[in-house]
Amino acid sequence: MVNTAVTLCGVALDNPVIPASGTFGFGAEFAALYDINCLGTFSFKGTTRQPRFGNPTPRIAECEAGMLNAVGLQNPGVESVLADILPQMKQYFHKPVMANVSGFSVEEYAETCAMLDESEQIGWLEVNISCPNVHGGGMSFGTDPAMAAAVTKAVRAVTKKPVIVKLSPNVTDIAAMAKACEAAGADGISLINTLQGMRIDLKKRAPILANTFGGLSGPAIFPVALRMVWQVYKAVSIPIIGMGGVSTAEDVIEMMLAGATAVQIGAVNLVNPYAGRDIVRALPAVMEKYGIQNLSDCIGGAHSGT
């Protein structure tokens, strides 16, 4: 019997499969299709201090081997998540859940995380630093190591929960970003977020997305994500959650060999709502195929001799 269990920042998971934020809502729609407790956990919809309607439509554009989205962090706000959504979630998900947090200033990140720290249901805070800094000219926190460190430090000061910083791939040196977050107190690194891209409507001769640019996700970005997980594993000593184009059990193991402790699945949930369940079910057979007894032994396994 193979063992799929891993430990993420001190919290035990039955397996490393985690649906990614923005692709799984708050779990309710998927819980209506299958028992989502088979998952390691899931990262719920990106939450901000205040409710957000998001960007104007159209927000989604298809492309070869992936999709573009510019949803714009639509969410009900942290107060509604705490008062309404998490109590409902107790009925269908019985494991610690990962809270994905976004913000537009250091203070907003800290305030939102401090509020979420009070919830016993939340096992980890996944801090998305790809948002624009409204006090710094609109530059994303995730494009400057000093800004990333400032957010990490502020969040670390207001919570006892593990802080996992989610990095943008739209940078020159992903390892430098990860090292800055680790030095500022991050307990883990989550990567990669979407790559920036666009599509143009040939008939209208105009961008398809109302926001012009959007985030590219799906199988097309898997090699890029794998490369960045590899680089960050060599640069930091804290756990990594790998993501970006993962759609099979084989992809999960490949990510772990590159250095990931756990693996998030994103765009595939929108293609196949049973993807998380199917990957969890497939893992044991794939492990046996490649002679893997304990999945945790795979973490960073491809770095031997490099």
Instruction: Name the residues annotated as catalytic.
Output: 131
Unique residue bearing structure tokens 């989550």: 190
Which candidate, 11, 20, 63, 88, places its Cα nearest to that of 276? 20
Q: Which residues lie closer than 8 Å to 147 by C-beta, 6 or more apart?
A: 129, 133, 136, 139, 141
Run of H or E residues at 125 = strand 122-128
Token readout for 76 is 């009900």
Where does residue 16 fall: left (phi above 0), alpha (psi -120 to 50 degrees), or beta otherwise? alpha
CB count within 10 Å of CB 243 equals: 31
C-alpha span between 121 and 41 (Å, rounded): 11
Half-sphere exposure of 71 (CA within 13 A, CB side): 14
